Amino acid sequence: DLTTGTGPAEPVREIEVRLEGETRAVPLYERHRLLTGQTLAGPAVIAQADTTSCIPGGFRGEVDRRGNIVLTTTGEN
């Protein structure tokens, strides 16, 4: 189990990505810094040593007690 945190995760910086035909600044998170219970609003990018993941707009991620990032729809885009 991971250390527990609360509320939104803190991004390390913003990066520019291409989404739906336009360039946008989105938060970049480092996976190893995420704590159980923290949330991430999409669009966002999560980087780790062996992969990069994207949370699309209209979704919210929450880190569960095993470190999984569980996505749920927010109904927004």
pLDDT in tens, 55-67: 999 999 999 999 9
Is residue 5 a part of any domain in this protein?
Answer: no
Query: What confidence category does residue 77 fall into, taking pLDDT thresholds of 50, 70 and 90?
Result: low
Is residue 8 a part of any domain in this protein?
Answer: no
Q: Are 42 and 69 in contact (CB under 8 A)?
A: no
pTM, to two decimals? 0.88
The number of folded domains in the chain is 1
2 pLDDT above the threshold of 70? no
Summarised one tens digit per residue, pLDDT across range 24-42 is: 999 999 999 999 999 999 9
Instruction: Tell me the residue range of the domain where 50 lies.
Output: 13-73
